[in-house]
Amino acid sequence: MPNIQTMADAIRFLAINAILNAGEGHQGVPLGMAEIAATLYANHLRAAPKDPLWPDRDRVVLSNGHGSMLLYALLHLSGYDKVSLEALKSFRTLHSVCAGHPEIEQDAGIEITSGLLGQGIASAVGMAVAEERLAARFGRDLVDHRTWAFVGDGCLQEGMGQEAISLAGHLHLGRLTFLWDDNRITDDGETALSISEDIPARFRAAGWHVLVVDGHDIVAVDAAITAAKTDPRPSLIACRTTIARGIPRLQGQRGGHSAPLTSQDAEEARAARGWSHPAFYIPQEVYDDWHGAMDRGAQARTDWSTRLAVHPESEEFTRWMSGTLPDGWADALPGPCMEPRATIMSSGDVCDALADTLPETIVLCADLEAPTNHKRSRAAFTPENRSGSYLHCGVREHLMGAMAYGIAAHGGLRPVNVTYLAFADYERPAMRMAALMALPTTFVFSHDSIGAGSNGATHQPVETLASYRAMPGMRVFRPADTVETSEAWQIALETPDGPSMMALSRQDAVQVRRDTSKNLTRRGAYILAGSEQNRDVTLIATGTEVGLALHARKTLEALGIKTTVVSMPCWELFEVQPHSYRLQILGGAPRIAIEAALKFGWERWLRYSDRFIGMTGYGASARAPQLYQHFGITEEAIVAAAKEMAEQ
């Protein structure tokens, strides 16, 4: 039998040593949750530190990410090679695997970047969904793991955390367990300063299994985890804890959270806990207990490998888990369309075609099934049907975004997130996480401009494109028509190094492309009509405004003004083209950029004397055609500007 109390104290002192060594850090969580974590690892967790990427491992999420030394101590003690003692000594320094907050590095055992409060538990819901969906497809022989999340008070105060509670309960995600560090202290002091909610009752209202225990009572924690594993509901283990337990000066105090530690604190802790070892020293018998606990996972992994080797679906399973696309998958992408069609509908066509071809796609939508039209032949993922590949997320965009990247981090599925572009702001922090972690996630947005119509300015994005073009690692597509929409999807799915988003129209878009022999969207921008060399004016447009530019071109050509139209569906892809290509496309002639959004950022592609036709502020409530007239985004305006510029 392992000595769990000593295992816990090993966490405690590694945390104290590393924080003292770094000169800063948050001791509250690792010291307060040491017994909880040690019990989980000693008796329950199934992981294989020597094969950190084993697909059927339990997933562990540290949602209270400031307590990162809890995770690093756990990973070190259980034998993840990359989290060496040296790594712990480099805590919070440049290039260390032990960053201030956990940053995804799955081969070191860090499943996901914790991010700001709330992100962790929301992404954990995504992981638990992925597990169920994969188990439904491949069976429990191959997919049989759990998701454990360490949770602080802040995560539960955040709205996204509340969304996570609500949806996880609704979906009966029985393999999801939250270990709540109920220490009654936040950064400001007593939690009572800002919350007086009955948190167990709140979870019960959402259909959770709730257990309340003393978080330092190893037997009680162990029994609660055992109960959580057998209950069909998601479980909250509410662990009453003492923050920074073990440091006499700080335990149970506001300063327990992250007040600077002194060497005297370390000495007093050693005395208080009866820990006689020097800094960063862990006795071999303690390591033995930790490593012995990992035998459970190692054995499970061996058994699993044996099953996989003879499994009839092993090839397909491996394909899903590796994110490999099947040969010829792109043949399923719809070709050109002869009629005008809203690009959100063209995207729905793609998504529907992929339901069979890429069954690993899973669509998440925030209560906008009808107007976004991405469900179609897909069944809903429900407690009764885990094979469904369409998840009704409710009006919970922030959770949805985090679930999407959580699913991507879990591996095996390809998440597609669908809502209106106006709601992109609601999930922006989650989208930033996907970009920061470079996780392949596809964010599909409809109603991308004043084209949304008379729901009014609150529902009409004007600055949203710019705000995402400003976000590193996010590819922003605004395709012009059916063909460009298919091309954008192809790029998004073929590109594993980060997320893509698509800004799509509610209103019909003119078809501007027929030829699909080459994916022109890959280069970010290209000449759609007119000559490269011989031009009087260049019109650069995105999305629905490309059709407008083509119309204007007809008029201008009739007036003898040689007009070249550039479609620019993706700035990020255009930016990485060779300088010579960019010059070739943009040309030396006067330029007019046309986009039903703000100019902000367009200066990158325009010179001082060039023009921009678009929005200058918020939208208004009227039908789309009237709004285009009202805001002067019209063929007439383009023609007038082009004439003026060509004459100069």
Q: Nearer to a second copy by C-beta: 68 or 251?
A: 68
Query: Is 551 annotated in some ligand binding site?
Result: no
Q: What gap in Å lies between CA 72 and CA 98, rounded to an integer?
A: 7
* Residue 178, annotated as binding a ligand: no
Nearest distance in Å: CB 401, a second copy: 11
Q: Which of 296, 62, 9, 42 is nearest to 179 (CA)?
A: 62
Q: Say whether 133 sits in a helix, a strand or coil.
A: helix
Closest CB 249 distance from a second copy, rounded Å:
17
The angle subtended at Cα 357 by Cα 356 and Cα 362, nearest 5°, is 65
Give the shortest CB-305-to-a second copy separation in angstroms. 35
Between residues 399 and 502, which has the closer beta carbon with respect to a second copy?
Answer: 399
- CB 408 within 8 Å of CB 434: yes
Q: Answer yes or no: is 459 a known binding residue.
A: yes
Indicate the residue among 432 and 523 with the shorter CB distance to a second copy.
432
- Quick one: tokens of 599? 């100019």
CA nearest to 497, candidates 415, 440, 417: 440
Q: Respond yes or no: is residue 397 known to be catalytic.
A: yes
Give whichever of 419 and 485 is closer to a second copy, judged by the CB atom: 419
Question: Is 109 within any annotated ligand binding site?
Answer: no
Please list, in sequence order, all residues whose beta carbon lies within 8 angstroms of the beta carbon of residue 32, skipping any fewer than 6 positions away: 181, 183, 215, 241, 242, 243, 244, 245, 256
Q: Which is nearer to a second copy, 474 or 552 (CB)?
A: 474
> In sequence order, what are the beta bridge partners of 526?
567
| Closer to a second copy by Cβ: residue 15 or 483 | 15
Q: Is 506 annotated as a binding residue?
A: yes
Which of 105, 360, 397, 487 is labelled catalytic?
397
Least CB distance to a second copy at residue 87 (A): 13
Residue 143 near residue 131 (C-beta atoms within 8 A)? yes
Give CA–CA dist 581/591, Å, rounded. 16
Does 153 carry a binding-site annotation? yes
Residue spans of beta strands (DSSP E) within 49-111: 59-62
Q: Tell the smallest beta-carbon distance from residue 66 to a second copy (Å).
A: 8
- Least distance in angstroms from the C-beta of 187 to a second copy: 5
H or E element in which residue 487 lies: helix 482-494
Give the Å distances, CA to CA, from 612 to 300, 540, 606, 638: 61, 9, 8, 9
215 is annotated as contributing to ligand binding? no
Please report, as a single letter, which amino acid is at residue 264.
Answer: Q
Helix (H) or strand (E) holding 240: strand 235-240
Annotated binding site for Mg(2+): 153, 183, 185
The residues that are catalytic are 397
Annotated binding site: 26, 66, 115-117, 153-154, 183, 185, 257, 423, 447, 459, 506
Annotated binding site for substrate: 26, 257, 447, 459, 506
